[in-house]
Structure formats: C-alpha cells, structure tokens
Amino acid sequence: MPDLNALVRRAEQLDRAMGVLSSFDEGPDRVLCFKQMLLLEGHPEYTRHFNASDTLSDSQRTYATQQRQPFKARYREWPAEETACP
C-alpha cells in the first residue's frame, strides 16, 4: 500500500506544476499555451489555429517555453506506482 503522506506530497507538487499551465486564461490563451508546449515537443501540426488571430504574445510564449522544463522535471520525478489506479 502506498504511503499516504508521500501521495499527498506528490499531489501538491503536481498541483504546483499544473498551476503554471493554469495561469493562462481559460479562453484561447490556455489552449495556445498547451499547443506551444506540444510544438516544443516536436508536433508541428499544432502550428495551425482555427482563427489566424489566435496567438500568444511574445511574453506568453517565452513564459510557456521557460516553464516547460520545470514541469517536465516534476512530472518525470513522479513515481509510476503512485499514478496507477487501484
């Protein structure tokens, strides 16, 4: 049985990491942030948008890009056994 304190600690860490992604508005900016991260992961098909005017500002794009590595590091450290459903 997993250590409950460890699970809570990991959940809090993931919550902080996801907070970066959630810091974008719930409108198109959030979607564009996720698309930017997918582009950085090597998925060029996410370059196109439904509306040509939908774009992140330079500062938003820089912020999303800078936050990618810390997010990936936190996620990579998350033990697989703690993410499995019972």
Residue-range domain boundaries for the chain: 4-79
Contact, 32 vs 56, CB < 8 A?
yes
**Tens-place pLDDT, residues 9-46:** 878 877 777 776 666 666 778 788 888 888 998 999 98
**Closest by Cα among 65, 74, 57 to 11:** 74
**What is the chain's length?**
86
Report the alpha-carbon distance of residue 27 to residue 29 in Å, rounded: 6
Percentage of the chain lying above the pLDDT 90 cut: 9
Query: Helix H segments across 1-86?
Result: 4-22, 28-40, 58-77, 80-83
Evaluate the CA torsion angle 43, 49, 55, 56 in order and state its sign: negative
Average pLDDT over residues 38-55: 87
